[in-house]
Amino acid sequence: MSTETEDGGDELREQVGNFLRRNFPQIEMHGGSAAIQDLDRETGEVSIQLGGACSGCGISPMTIQAIKTRMVDEIPEIEKVHANTGGDTGGSEGMSGGSMSPSFPGHESSSGDADDDEGPEAPF
């Protein structure tokens, strides 16, 4: 799982960090942060976590898309970028655990049975 190897993992990590600072200064200017969560040199996959004010500021979707597209173009070693805001949409109650899945009774995709109003959380 630890994916940094000695042959340049740190260098690539630095390259990714520099890329973010150079091309996306807005992240820090807006009080946000971008952390490299994981970097797999063999597969060329990197995971970026946007935090701080990035969550729910309205521009994180665009920023994420731009990072994904441009990093792959500009850093040859990077093949795929995973970027997210960790699901922490600070400020909205009920959104506290990012990994928490809501329980949709009978929630199955394309079953279309979720149309009985908007209060399905009370189990009968």
Partner 1 sequence: MSDFDPEQFEDKYANYFPELQRAYKSAFETMNDRYDSELVHAIDQFVLNESEPFYEGDGQFRVELPENPYDRLQGVVVAEEKFEELMDRYEDELEAELQSVFGFEA
The one among 7, 62, 106, 124 contacting partner 1 by CB under 8 A = 62
For 67, the enclosing helix (H) or strand (E) is helix 60-74
Our finding on whether 75 is near partner 1 (CB under 8 A) is no
Q: Return the ∠ at Cα 92 (arms to 89 and 94), rounded to 5°.
A: 100
- Taken in order 67, 73, 76, 81, the sign of the CA dihedral is positive
The one among 7, 115, 123, 124 contacting partner 1 by CB under 8 A = 115
The one among 91, 106, 123, 124 contacting partner 1 by CB under 8 A = 91
Closest CB to partner 1 among 13 and 70?
70
Our finding on whether 58 is near partner 1 (CB under 8 A) is yes
Distance CA 29, CA 58 (A): 15
Our finding on whether 112 is near partner 1 (CB under 8 A) is yes
Per-residue tokens: 58: 């309205």
The amino acid at 14:
E
Contacting positions for partner 1 (CB under 8 A): 26, 55-66, 69-70, 83-85, 87, 89, 91-95, 97-98, 100-102, 104, 109, 112, 114-118, 120-121
